[in-house]
Amino acid sequence: MEVPDWGTIPRMLRDQAGTHPSDIVVAGGEVRLSLAGLRDRAGAVARGLIALGVRPGDRVAIWGLNDPDWVVGAFGVWDAGAVLVPLSARYKGIEAAATLGRTGASVLVTGHGPDGTVFTDLLAGTAGGPGAGRPFEGLPELRCSVVPDALERPGTVRRSRMLSAGARIGHAEAEERALAVRPDDLCEIMSTSGSTGTPKGVMLEHGHTLRGYWDWAEIVTLRPGDRYPIVAPFAHGFGLNAGLLASVMRRATMMPIPVFGPELLTELIHDRRITVLAGPPTLFHRLLEGDVGEHSLRVAICGAASVPAELIRRLLERTGLERMINAYGLMEGTVVSMTRAEDPVEVVASSTGRPVPGIEVRIVDDHGAEVPTGERGEIVMRGYGVMRGYWDDPDRTAEVIRDGWLHTGDIGTFDADGNLAVVDRKKELFIVGGFNVSPAEVEGLLLREGSLAQAAVVGMPDERSGEAGWAFVVPRPGVAVDPERVLAWARENMSNYKVPRRVIVVDVLPANANGKTDKRVLRARAAGRARGGNSVAGPDTAR
């Protein structure tokens, strides 16, 4: 089934709300939103943003946990003709300020953190207090910060006041703004880690984003009435596009999960009667550790991870799932490949399936030549799913998009049946619990702690999160480094998935022939310590 001729997200929402107004698409806490209710609330937010001076093409950031307000806010941003900039709820002030400054966001919409943290307070510590007519002196392009009604902060606007201001904007004016959005207009700028240490802003357009996640949902068989908990954060590409957006396109009921814990899984399965569950293999291991019992779960979805065949067999036998889907995608290339319902267990366990319709994939060597079937090489792809580029960074865009082909930096193989397996990463990125981590970014943050002259971070296998960072650090002259204090600083100033599992103090970092830090040597050192039973989380020193 081809994607309907919507073209843009605002038109999609209006079409769905017009033809199926009473279908429930959001169920979070006590809130239940139908398609018509979502359209109306999003329109109110859009008018509020317009009243705050948001213009077509402006960047508007949302910083909060998965909840119904996040969903309404996102569609309000799109209705206003603006570009959504999601900020991770795990961000600390340094990280959020960097993203806001880099994208030139004009408005920030915030909420509460998982422990009651007020996000604007985190930001004030790094971006300064109110400036002349601005919420933060250090972010001159940020004109306004919208906060929940319960908060009162200098230079901010309470949500109710924004909505009241929007009530003075005519519906016709707001509707004209929403319908003026074009398929090739930007809908999102998504942050993704990069090997240079500065996160990149991936530019995604309305038309290709709708198509990519319509096709994803088609293969997954996401359908009206499905009950679908969104465990991945809305600030993550999977949570936003394969969760929030796909649910509204397919009229499934999304259940935003603000904070996921193992105890919630039982409630989702038995009390909320979910039908679709997406996450890493560890999520499904947890599922099998409990009493599955009678349930309504129909589809399970993994993403590019190696899924043990035995896990899939046990899931199918114990739960009666209709299908288990594995998939590979990246922000720069949307959805690349997916397994299909008819695939045997071995294919789902060992590959991410075949390219999705409209996407062409090759495996190439360092010179760009295609390699024979079964041989390793870099995964390159082209088609409608390729991003427009990196925000305000034509040089890095040109590095990864060459002659229409996106060079993913991932290493893969094709089998004789055309199934793609992702086997390694050409880039130094490692993945902690589903989140890409840039060693260079973590190194740069660690150096701000104050006691370190150098830092080198490598990703190592980790039972809990798949991979975890190990940091090798060199003290500043005359300074004694306490690994515990470094870790404590990191926990206060970095997203938790970026915080190294270990801090190892060394006198000097090993260098290769080009004078660069030799991370192969560091990985070998870390592996030796792990084999020696020294892999428990916590600090360590090695002189």
What is the enclosing helix (H) or strand (E) of 395? helix 394-400
Alpha carbons 383 and 398: distance in angstroms, whole number: 16
Domain end among 181, 200, 219: 200
CATH number reported for the structural domain that contains residue 143 in this entry = 3.40.50.980
pLDDT at 540: 43
My answer on whether 518 and 411 are in the same domain is: no
Q: Is residue 3 part of a domain?
A: no
Alpha carbons 80 and 51: distance in angstroms, whole number: 10
The CB density around residue 505, as the number of other CB atoms within 10 Å, is 21
pLDDT at 304: 54
Handedness of CA 360, 364, 370, 374 (dihedral sign): negative
Domain end among 200, 222, 251: 200
The rounded Cα 330 to chain-centroid distance in angstroms is 10
My answer on whether 351 and 450 are in the same domain is: no
Which one-letter amino acid corresponds to residue 94? Answer: I
- The whole domain housing 474 covers 430-541
My answer on whether 218 and 94 are in the same domain is: no
H helical segments located in 22-108: 35-51, 68-79, 93-103
pLDDT at 275: 97
pLDDT at 512: 67
My answer on whether 228 and 363 are in the same domain is: yes
Q: How many domains does the chain have?
A: 3
pLDDT at 237: 92
What string of DSSP letters covers 455-494?
EEEEEEEETTTEEEEEEEEEEPTT----HHHHHHHHHHHS
pLDDT in tens, the chain (543 residues): 788 999 999 999 999 999 999 999 999 999 999 999 999 999 999 999 999 999 999 999 999 999 999 999 999 999 999 999 999 998 999 999 999 999 999 999 998 777 778 898 889 888 887 877 788 989 999 999 999 988 877 778 999 999 999 999 999 999 999 999 999 999 999 998 655 567 899 999 999 999 999 999 999 999 999 999 999 999 999 999 999 999 999 999 999 999 888 789 888 988 899 999 998 777 887 788 777 778 899 999 987 556 777 878 888 888 888 899 999 999 999 999 999 989 999 999 889 999 999 999 999 998 999 999 999 999 999 999 999 999 999 999 999 999 999 999 998 999 999 999 988 777 788 889 888 888 888 988 998 899 998 899 999 998 878 899 999 999 988 899 999 999 999 999 999 999 999 999 999 999 865 567 888 899 999 999 887 755 334 444 333
CATH number reported for the structural domain that contains residue 292 in this entry = 3.40.50.12780
My answer on whether 54 and 70 are in the same domain is: yes
Structure pTM?
0.86
My answer on whether 33 and 133 are in the same domain is: yes
My answer on whether 378 and 491 are in the same domain is: no
My answer on whether 251 and 154 are in the same domain is: no
Q: Is residue 1 part of a domain?
A: no
My answer on whether 250 and 361 are in the same domain is: yes
My answer on whether 233 and 340 are in the same domain is: yes
Domain end among 425, 457, 492: 425
pLDDT at 514: 54
My answer on whether 260 and 273 are in the same domain is: yes
My answer on whether 36 and 118 are in the same domain is: yes
pLDDT at 209: 98
